[in-house]
Amino acid sequence: MKTVTSLPELRVARSQLPEPVGFVPTMGYLHAGHISLVQQARDECASVVVSIFINPTQFGPNEDLANYPRDLPHDLALLEEAGADLAFMPTPQVMYPPGFQTWISVEQVTQGLEGAMRPGHFRGVTTVVTKLFNAVEPQKAYFGQKDAQQAAVIQRMAKDLDFPIEIVVCPTRREVDGLAMSSRNSYLTPTERQAATVLFRALSAAKAAYEKGERNAEALRQVVRAVIRTEPLAKLQYVSCADLDTLVELESVHGRVLLSLAVFMGKTRLIDNIILG
């Protein structure tokens, strides 16, 4: 696997890769969820490019940019093993040089959920993903369903801006006890880690209610709230039952629906979701 840190190096290395090129953008501290994206890209494309960049513009002023976990040697070993061809690891100065002043905004689909809780987050995500798309020029790009709103926003953006790139959304990978894999799980104390299974238990309870025929969206949200309340360490920030594409909150469930939530476990903020229908 080749590694590059500058845009000119990337362009040269990219031009030598056989197409189609699959691209997996990451913030590093890779886990089996990221690696499953790389593997799917490996299966579907002639070449695989991965970026590792902790993007400062998608963190709010009171968020965890400074403490975001990193382990570059381990990341590179995992990518090598998974068969990636090229890793792009730019510095913030490469991505945001002095004078930088251009931003991508996706409007409606960024308004709720994470967008409401994290103002400016998606502007940072869409801007860096646009830059990475233009830098890497992939034919396919892979995102995890774990960040469901991000996936919806990127799909909307790619369509609206006519990017010649297929957006592939891959299933959430979970620990054996159901916790969705996330680099931020490393923040959890052992007690919090155990308690964190409540997110998936809450979603699963709502799914069971759905499968028994419950179609009232608020009733499904109430199932989630009730399960989260059973865990004293968990503080629910939001629960949403929304259209999978537009993320508009629903009254009754029909078609493909995103059931999602954000929960604080101590100081650590976790998100998770499942798709119904």
Q: Which of 106, 239, 259, 271 binds a second copy (CB under 8 A)?
A: 106
Angle 156-169-108 (CA atoms, 0-180°, nearest 5)?
25
Q: Which of 34, 74, 121, 254 is catalytic?
A: 34
- At closest approach, how far in Å is the CB of 164 from a second copy? 6
Q: Which of 73, 162, 213, 232 binds a second copy (CB under 8 A)?
A: 162
Alpha-carbon distance of 256 to 178, in angstroms, equals 22
34 is catalytic: yes
Beta pairing partners, 142: 168
Q: Which of 121, 146, 156, 173 binds a second copy (CB under 8 A)?
A: 156
CA dist 269 to 83, 116, 165, Å?
32, 14, 31
Stretch in the footprint of a second copy (CB under 8 A) among 31-39, 45-53, 93-101, 252-260? 93-101
Q: Check if the beta carbon of residue 65 is closer than 8 Å to that of residue 59.
A: yes
DSSP class per residue in 36-52 = HHHHHHHHH-SEEEEEE
Stretch in the footprint of a second copy (CB under 8 A) among 30-38, 106-114, 190-198, 257-265? 106-114
Q: Which of 5, 91, 134, 230 binds a second copy (CB under 8 A)?
A: 134
Q: Which of 102, 190, 211, 251 binds a second copy (CB under 8 A)?
A: 102
Alpha-carbon distance of 277 to 275, in angstroms, equals 7
Collapsed DSSP state (helix, strand, coil) of residue 127: helix
Handedness of CA 240, 244, 247, 251 (dihedral sign): negative
Q: Which of residues 51-90 bind a second copy (CB under 8 A)?
A: none
Q: Please tell me whether residue 244 binds a second copy under the rule CB under 8 A.
A: no
Q: Please tell me whether residue 143 binds a second copy under the rule CB under 8 A.
A: no
Q: Which of 46, 80, 103, 189 binds a second copy (CB under 8 A)?
A: 103
Q: Please tell me whether residue 135 binds a second copy under the rule CB under 8 A.
A: yes
Number of residues that bind a second copy (CB under 8 A): 28
Burial 4-43 (b: 16+ CB within 10 A, else e): beeeeebeebbeebeeebbbbbbbbbbbebbbbbbbbbbe
Beta pairing partners, 88: 4, 51
Q: Please tell me whether residue 11 binds a second copy under the rule CB under 8 A.
A: yes
Q: Please tell me whether residue 19 binds a second copy under the rule CB under 8 A.
A: no
- At closest approach, how far in Å is the CB of 250 from a second copy? 17
Q: Please tell me whether residue 219 binds a second copy under the rule CB under 8 A.
A: no
Q: Which residues contact 28 (CB under 8 A, 6 or more apart)?
A: 52, 53, 54, 70, 71, 72, 75, 183
Q: Which of residues 171-200 bind a second copy (CB under 8 A)?
A: none
- Give the N- to C-terminal CA distance of the chain in Å, as an integer: 40
Q: Please tell me whether residue 7 binds a second copy under the rule CB under 8 A.
A: yes
Q: Please tell me whether residue 98 binds a second copy under the rule CB under 8 A.
A: no
Q: Please tell me whether residue 157 binds a second copy under the rule CB under 8 A.
A: yes
> Which spans of this chain sit near a second copy (rule: CB under 8 A)?
7, 11, 99-109, 126-127, 130-131, 134-135, 137, 156-157, 160-164, 246
Active site amino acids: 34
